[in-house]
Structure 1
Amino acid sequence: MSNRVSRRQALAALTGLGAAAALPTAAAQACSRIFWNDNPVKLVGRTLDWSRNFDEVLWALPAGMEREGRVPENPAKWTSRYASVIIAGLDVCTEEGVNEKGLVVNLLFLDGTKYEPRNSTRPGIAFFQWPQYYLDNYATVNEVIGNLDQVQVVNTALGEEYPEGLPLHVAIADAAGNSAIIEFIKGEPTVHMGRHYQVMTNEPTYDEQIANLLKYKPFGGTIAELPGGIQATDRFVRAAYTLKYLPKTSDVPQAVANMMSLVNNVSVPFGSPYSGVSGTYPTWYRSIIDPDALVYYVQTTITPNTFWVDMNKLDLKPGAPALRMPIFDEKLMGEASGAFKEGKPSV
């Protein structure tokens, strides 16, 4: 069930071959990501779980924006090829988003991450720009994996709160249903690539998550009872199990409701004691992205409403202004593209 390959192997596999043909099928702060890519309506769902929220803002970013990697030596420089709609925290960190081609990127916590040693001969981007770089430049999972060496992801300070940076990994999905997970293990990027990589949570590493999943009866093991805890391993198993039996439908509202029921199942309620870690790390928002229709659904846990943005209703051509919308605004409900206001992004 595992498609674990190094960066070198992933690049070699993509040389002249499609990823599906080239590759075989096979506790800290919390988040979960689920890609429902075997349904007529493809959807990417996620939770953002942390000790606090980061005043997240939904940004609509036009194509043609000039960017620079926020590292001291040899920062990458690029102009965004594609428009995107993202959720950013602390004004600068792209936590997730979708671009106009239907590429979706989600950034999650992974305790034990060890980024590559800095090689200043390669252009660098700060780790909190990682999703944005992909959204700006690529349309498919294959393009992302085929260009992994173009920049180096660099662990840098994220404001005064995180002077040592953060250990993270990313999940990538596209409108064709392809999926990939990228982790930095022992200083080397590791790629898990294939349509069957639908679920991602946090620690341990993806290899270990898959090994744990295979212990359960629905996945060929012997353990009959599903885990009910909020730890990353428990959420991984529960998400994979629920996705396996989620009723398929071509009805978009029903598909979104089905996915939201799954995302709620792996959310962390306020006040839940987090085993092994001091404090509580609740879910602050849940999102669902439709990479075909380019609709972005958001449900926060401190407001009673769900709202969504239809990217097709926004002017995101080069030269258009960037637009912002704080996601914790209790007045947001239903289709909310008209609630954006012009702003100056820092991402």
Structure 2
Amino acid sequence: MTFNLVGYQLAWAGMNEAGLVISTMNLGYATQNPLPDERPPLESGFWVQYQLDNCSTVEEVIASDSLVRIAHTVDHYLVCDRKGTCAAIEFIGGEMVCHTGETMPVQALTNHTYHESVRAWQESTLFPITNTSLLRFSIAANRVKGFKPDSSESVIDYAFDTLEQVSGEEMGRGTTFWSIVFDTENSLVYFRTKKNPQIRYINVTMLDFSCKTPAKMLNINEDLSGDITNELGAYSYTANRVHMTRFLEEWGINISPGSIRAICRHFDEFFCVKRNEYAEQDSERSEPSPSAEDTSDDTTMNLELAFLLVILATSCVGYFIYRTRNLGH
């Protein structure tokens, strides 16, 4: 189950049925992508989706660096699993850099490298922190360390309060459009948005992740509250295309309508596999076959798709939640 900004298959954050969680944060100033090699390249959104589709633990995510190569990312990632293991994964100097176990003294991440953030936090009693990102990390780290399990305040409320304290509004910098809390032990995903501040949650254990089940989706700004697991509706190519078009228009990204249709059709064609065994593609969608207007010049479409992948790390409002299917390697 993923939160998506741009569209289907381009995950920004999510939890899978094994309880693995990945969240994305910008690290533009420090990220250096690996150089091209024999590993298949995956843009950030595809990389997150790949991990959720194929991995169950933090250890498996780290090991996947030998199988796939991240490309065109300006982000770093906070990854946690049901066992309570977490890792901060960054790409610095063209290599995957992981902080986990003893090298991860606190499970938090903002918009500086993990090493810089921890150093500023540990030295904060000696030197005042003036950088907003480092200050937010210090507040989050102190909140993580200060939580008392026997407190009358629920861990979910505590988590949302922590997110509120480090939000853009509190710092006088920007706007927070969504806040997400993942309960890995119970496979529950809580969230709220700027347009709908009511806390809602999805019970991941109640979702059917089998290959024969069509994907589902939901506008995260709908006027709902509480358990919204059953509110997820059937995936729609048209709704996804409209959403992607609106995203591109809002951010001034000029891609032709024909190429947008072709891109969305291409993402729809990713078929489902389980345990590396090919399964039949889902045939239950009622969407029409690509029309003549969906077919644009291949060269133009490929160039525009490449341009789209480069800009996907731009932050914006997220509209949809998708219950995604397992995807092939």
Give TM-score, length-normalised by structure 2: 0.67
Q: Could you tell me how far apart the structure 2 residues matched to 1:238 and 1:308 are?
A: 25
Q: Which has the larger radius of gyration?
A: 2
Q: Aligned equivalents of 1:264 and 1:192: distance in 2?
A: 25
- Residues 211-226 of structure 1 aligned to structure 2 (within 5 Å): 211-217=119-125, 222-223=126-127
Once residues 321 and 310 of structure 1 are traced to their aligned partners in structure 2, the CA distance between those partners, rounded to angstroms, is: 18
In the alignment, is residue 154 of structure 1 matched against residue 71 of structure 2?
Answer: yes
Name the residue aligned to 1:240.
Answer: 141
Measure the CA separation in 1 of the matches of 2:134 and 2:205. 37
**Equivalent residues of 1:125, 1:151 under 8 A apart:** yes
* Equivalent residues of 1:242, 1:262 under 8 A apart: yes
Instruction: Provide the secondary structure at the position in 2 that maps to 1:142.
Output: helix
Q: Within 5 Å, which residues of 2 pair with 1:25-44?
A: none
In the alignment, is residue 257 of structure 1 matched against residue 157 of structure 2? yes
Structure 2 unaligned spans of 5+: 241-266, 268-323, 325-329
- Residue pair 2:106, 2:144 contacting (<8 A) in 1 also: no
Aligned to 1:319: 212
In the aligned structure 2, how far is the partner of 1:312 from the partner of 1:196?
Answer: 31
Q: The residue matched to 2:97 in structure 1 has which SS?
A: strand
CA distance, structure 2, for counterparts of residue 184 and residue 298 of structure 1: 28
Higher strand share: 1
Q: Does 1:184 align with 2:91?
A: yes
Distance 1:242 1:341 in 2: 36
- Are residue 168 (structure 1) and residue 75 (structure 2) matched? yes
Task: Give the Cα–Cα distance (whole angstroms) in 2 for the partners of residues 273 and 95 of structure 1.
Answer: 24
* Superposed displacement of residue 342, structure 1: 0.6
Encode CA deviations 1:146-192: one digit per residue, 9 max, x unaligned: 2321001111xxxxxxxxxx511111101111111111112222111
What is the rounded CA distance, in whole Å, between the counterparts of 1:201 and 1:261 in structure 2? Answer: 16
Hey, what's the Cα distance between the residues in 1 that align with 2:41 and 2:80? Answer: 23
Return the alpha-carbon distance in structure 2 between the equivalents of residues 233 and 176 of structure 1: 28
The residue that corresponds to 1:333 in the other structure is 225
The question of whether the paired residues in 1 share the 8 Å contact of 2:110 and 2:134 is answered with yes
**What is the CA distance between 1:250 and its match in structure 2?**
8.6
Identify the match of residue 302 of structure 1 among 187, 191, 195.
195
Distance in structure 1 (CA, Å) of the matches to 2:71 and 2:164: 33
Q: Indicate which of 111, 115, 135 corresponds to 1:207.
A: 115
Cα deviation code 1:241-278 (max 9, x no counterpart): 12211221498x812111111111111118x654xxxx
**Aligned partner of 1:298: which letter?**
F
**CA contact 1:230–1:268 (8 Å) conserved in 2:** no
CA contact (8 A) 2:106 2:141 kept: no
CA distance in 2, matches of 1:130, 1:247: 35
- Once the two structures are superposed, what CA deviation does each residue of 1:211-238 show, in whole Å capped at 9, x if it has no partner? 1111123xxxx35x7x5x7811110001
User: Which residue in 2 is equivalent to 1:126?
Assistant: 43
Size of the alignment, in residue pairs? 235
Partner residue of 1:31? none
Higher relative contact order (CA 8 A, sep 6+): 1
What percentage of residue pairs aligned between the two structures are identical?
26
